[in-house]
Amino acid sequence: MDVPKPHDFSLPFLKKEQVAQNAFAFYFDRKNSDLEFIAGQYTRVILPHDNADTRGTSRLFSIAVSPLQKELLRIVTKIVPESGSQLQRSSFKNMLFNLEAGKPVSFFGPMGRFTLRQDVSSYVFLVGGIGITPLLSILPFASAQKLPVQITVFLSFSTVEEVLFKDELLALSQQNPGIKIIYTVSHPEGSSQKWEGEQGRISTELIKKYVPDVTAPHYYVVGPQTMVLAMAELAKSLGVTEEKIIKEQFIGY
């Protein structure tokens, strides 16, 4: 497929859904849209409003749905509580949170190169928290297309309450022997929910436990900026060469 040209488009808002503590999915109707994108790309969401804070009226979000799902566009993001948190929710997120069903929303996209490559068949994804979003496009696409690829995904969350889309991704990995999913929680203690998976941050030991030849795959690293930089260093420390490390930094967190 040719790389789709970014352009302005508009989609009606459908609904929102809470997917974890302080995390929501937002769905838009793309039944009447000719939008084409490559799994892993992102889009700008534009929500003009009065009295916007200094961060402005638009944000970038990875498209969190397979391109084969022609009916919907989904984004997934953190929404901090309106009060009682040290973090101040942006006026943009307030607008997003309060969108009403049917409202047309403006977008510009698709953009980005955090996508699978024709000449690469072995991938390791190192994902920090909300950085899961491009995987919600790449994994169902790779699985449905039966792409001849091996994808190992390490996903790290601070607490059990923050874990995103575990059932959905584990189900995909069960259907597809080319996809391996490893969730890890760095602070499972103190949670009301039990955690039986891996614990601690993504480490060289954890990667070696699941990836037989650690320098062979391409490493795709995604999430908040500081995590991406730390995980890219981790990949380098395994002996992975710079050109095989592809980063998607969620600037703004």
Would you say 84 or 212 has its CB closer to ligand FAD?
A: 84
Stretch that binds ligand FAD, among 77-85, 97-105, 138-146, 200-208 (CB under 6 A): 77-85
- Sequence-ordered alpha helix ranges (H) in the chain: 91-97, 135-144, 166-175, 204-210, 225-237
**Total interface residues for ligand FAD by CB under 6 A:** 24
58: how many CB neighbours lie within 10 A of its CB? 15
Contact status: 238 vs ligand FAD (CB under 6 A): no
Q: How many helices (H) and strands (E) does the chain have?
A: 5, 12
Would you say 60 or 214 has its CB closer to ligand FAD?
A: 60
* Rounded least distance, CB 42 to ligand FAD, Å: 4
* Rounded least distance, CB 138 to ligand FAD, Å: 13
Question: Which secondary structure element, helix H or strand E, spans residue 222, and what is its range?
Answer: strand 218-224
Question: Residues with Cβ < 8 Å from 235, sequence gap 6 or more?
Answer: 124, 126, 219, 221, 245
Would you say 89 or 201 has its CB closer to ligand FAD?
A: 89
Amino acid code (one letter) for 166: K
Contact status: 19 vs ligand FAD (CB under 6 A): no
| Contacting ligand FAD within 133-172 (CB under 6 A) | 133
* CA-wise closest residue to 136 among 41, 29, 3, 35: 41
Burial class (CB in 10 A: 0-12, 13-18, 19+), 72: middle
* CA-wise closest residue to 198 among 213, 208, 188, 212: 188
Stretch that binds ligand FAD, among 71-79, 190-198, 212-220, 231-239 (CB under 6 A): 71-79
Stretch that binds ligand FAD, among 9-17, 84-92, 213-221, 231-239 (CB under 6 A): 84-92
* Rounded least distance, CB 141 to ligand FAD, Å: 16
**Phi and psi torsions of 173, nearest 5°:** -70, -30
Contact status: 252 vs ligand FAD (CB under 6 A): yes
Site for ligand FAD, rule CB under 6 A: 42, 55, 59-62, 75-78, 80, 87-90, 92-93, 130, 133, 248, 250-253
